[in-house]
Chain A
């Protein structure tokens, strides 16, 4: 696999992991905002901008890595992508309102709008992703989509399995007192994804059969999470993001190199040899800067007890 493609998949996996955690937070904010407020805000408040910026990172990395694929992707997905970004605008705005409005009634109302817009955004993103895997509802010759992109069993199964994955991740990450749901959610998630793949994208299972080791890290992390959580150890939450990352990456690697049910080989769309070294250098240098800045952020945020500037007394 080309290093640029691997990097693109790593960036995507980090982004989707962050988005999945946020989906968990959105679901909880709708379920019982007052009950989970502190747990949600301690994670979401300082990180939601970074998650948003990561989506731009992925978008531009995708553009830089696969320039010749852009006319097709841009023409086909204009409607769902721009609708999803509309929900991003609403999500960003209402999250900021929620944080500062200062009255419980408004805060709850705004958190609800944040939750609904985040869920809507994630359903559209999942639909786009599932269509790039299955190719259902996509007409590559006319570069158009039809309503089947949403209303097909594969997409619905993928959305349900994602919700089940997110339920599992959110229970552990936000320390929700629903231990009975822990096993059910993860078993349902795997069952749905296996069924969807067997029925609609058998090439994914064949790919897994030839390279089963790609899922090993995520399986090991999953076992570690369940064991730690069952032992009531708080450390389990720290494994959730790495587990989500490994799971998404493994799924990506199983799918590689095909898109739209083997109709497109993504490796043939990679950028020119003249541009590739620069894309690599900018990604690595930028990634290194990002790692340092995020480490500083995590250090300051977690080592020192958080206190907002406007609440701080000089």
Chain B
């Protein structure tokens, strides 16, 4: 009983920490790009609005970076202390990406300090921009390397798995095979694209909210430029997210058929499989779903004759929770809704309509920011729940990896309380910082 409770708290603690951390992480990935583009545009076109934008965002970046890196450190620590058996295996066979990520992290933190404290040091101002390019590279490289570990958990390679399952001994270890984990080829670009998209949407929402609140014309111009910058990054991110998203389905079909079957709610393998929208699994059948004939087979492998996998091919004890299907549908639905909205905004812009003068459009940008954050969390949950009950697919169960110490219970409560306090308090402090540095004084 204690073991099951401890495992539940391990899951809850890790899940809560990661759900907070991925939002901070995507902010950490996109913010350097916004800052460097703003500074570049400011220097290139001698536009003070962009320089002020870079300056003010650099303050926000340092404060968010502080909380984000601490949160990253917490997640790294939790990996070992919540899942000691998992980390023992990973450290023996697949530690390389996590280890390299430390140096990407160093690259980021050293160059952030350099950026903040060295504006005066370079006569060539583009060098200052270049320093932020290194920060941006460090941030995205961290994301790439961590996603490689996640891909490895989905499609493990690099040691003799049958021998390990039989004897518990690690043999035929190839520590760099982790870089070639099959799922990485599509999971990595998808995570990168969605990170830029979701992160930029968060700032799109923030800038739109600030534009709605202001009456000063100079401040309005400032926020309009900021919105255009964030929208451009979000739009590029969205295009790549859609492309890689479609390819992800194909990749799941080939590489993770059990997860695929759960996501598509396929009970039986079949050809000419319908795409089921919505629906739930009850009484050994799918109820309330809307079926589009043949579409699933076409999406999976380009042909209606494709035979898609079904859950009946796997023992029911290893089925992922089937609500992943509805979470997946929600993700795809929201993604396409945002895609249509972005296409509409671009069309309006091409027709020279001034979208940013419409308060309704600004409110819609805020809604997009909220939806994009939901998409981000939802996508991560589909990936993680879709692998359950495994922590490393077909190698180690979550329950085998978990720390069974009952000490986790008070710690889980403490960590959740700290996060509940620190994130709103950070936003409050940022608000106070910017209130004391009025934008009108800087423009």
Residues on A with C-beta less than 8 A from B112 are: 49
Residues on A with C-beta less than 8 A from B214 are: none
Kindly identify which residue among A49, A50, A102 contacts B437, using a CB–CB cutoff of 8 Å: A102
Residues on A with C-beta less than 8 A from B291 are: none
A260-314, CB < 8 A from B? 271-272, 274-275, 278-279, 282-283, 286, 289-290, 293-294, 296-297, 300-301, 304-310, 312, 314
- Count of chain A residues near B, Cβ 8 A: 75
CB pair B433 A102 closer than 8 Å: yes
Residues on B with C-beta less than 8 A from A294 are: 110
Tell me, in angstroms, the Cα distance from A91 to B66 when the chains sit together: 9
The answer to whether the Cβ of B432 comes within 8 Å of any Cβ in the partner chain is: yes
Asked, given contacts A49-B69, A59-B76, A307-B120, whether A93 binds B100 with beta carbons under 8 Å apart, the answer is no
Kindly identify which residue among B111, B426, B437 contacts A293, using a CB–CB cutoff of 8 Å: B111
CB pair A52 B67 closer than 8 Å: no
The answer to whether the Cβ of B367 comes within 8 Å of any Cβ in the partner chain is: no
Tell me, in angstroms, the Cα distance from A93 to B421 when the chains sit together: 11
A39-61, CB < 8 A from B? 45-47, 49-50, 52-53, 55-57, 59-61
Residues on A with C-beta less than 8 A from B93 are: 275
CB pair A55 B73 closer than 8 Å: yes
The answer to whether the Cβ of B403 comes within 8 Å of any Cβ in the partner chain is: yes
Tell me, in angstroms, the Cα distance from A307 to B118 when the chains sit together: 7
Residues on A with C-beta less than 8 A from B118 are: 300-301, 304, 309
From A72, A78, A144, A294, residue with most partner B Cβ within 10 Å = A78
The answer to whether the Cβ of A67 comes within 8 Å of any Cβ in the partner chain is: yes
Which of B172-180, B218-226, B379-387 lies at the binding interface?
Answer: B172-180
| In the complex, per-residue mask of B104-116: 1 if CB is within 8 Å of any chain A CB, else 0 | 0111011111111
Kindly identify which residue among B59, B73, B84, B85 contacts A85, using a CB–CB cutoff of 8 Å: B73
CB pair A68 B88 closer than 8 Å: yes
The answer to whether the Cβ of A96 comes within 8 Å of any Cβ in the partner chain is: yes
Q: How far is the CB of B13 from chain A (nearest CB, A)?
A: 8
CB pair B113 A297 closer than 8 Å: yes
CB pair A297 B77 closer than 8 Å: no
CB pair A278 B69 closer than 8 Å: no
Binding site for B on A (CB under 8 A): 45-47, 49-50, 52-53, 55-57, 59-61, 63-64, 67-68, 70-79, 81-83, 85-86, 88-93, 95-97, 99-103, 106, 143-144, 271-272, 274-275, 278-279, 282-283, 286, 289-290, 293-294, 296-297, 300-301, 304-310, 312, 314
A-B Cβ contacts below 8 A, count: 247
Residues on B with C-beta less than 8 A from A76 are: 405
Residues on B with C-beta less than 8 A from A77 are: 81
Secondary structure of the A side of the interface? Answer: helix
Kindly identify which residue among B58, B76, B87, B176 contacts A70, using a CB–CB cutoff of 8 Å: B87
CB pair B110 A282 closer than 8 Å: no
Tell me, in angstroms, the Cα distance from A52 to B114 when the chains sit together: 16
CB pair A290 B103 closer than 8 Å: yes
Tell me, in angstroms, the Cα distance from A102 to B102 when the chains sit together: 32
Kindly identify which residue among A74, A92, A278 contacts B87, using a CB–CB cutoff of 8 Å: A74
B149-186, CB < 8 A from A? 170, 173-176
Residues on B with C-beta less than 8 A from A99 are: 62
Kindly identify which residue among B63, B74, B101 contacts A89, using a CB–CB cutoff of 8 Å: B74
Tell me, in angstroms, the Cα distance from A60 to B43 when the chains sit together: 40
Tell me, in angstroms, the Cα distance from A151 to B66 when the chains sit together: 33
CB pair A64 B408 closer than 8 Å: no
Tell me, in angstroms, the Cα distance from A289 to B93 when the chains sit together: 24
The answer to whether the Cβ of B355 comes within 8 Å of any Cβ in the partner chain is: no
For the complex with contacts A286-B106, A309-B128, A310-B56, 11 further pairs of A-B residues with Cβ separation under 8 Å are A50-B106, A53-B102, A56-B76, A63-B95, A68-B88, A75-B404, A78-B82, A100-B63, A101-B433, A293-B111, A297-B114
Tell me, in angstroms, the Cα distance from A67 to B91 when the chains sit together: 5
- Chain A: which residue is nearest B423 at the CB level? A93
Asked, given contacts A82-B78, A286-B102, whether A274 binds B173 with beta carbons under 8 Å apart, the answer is yes
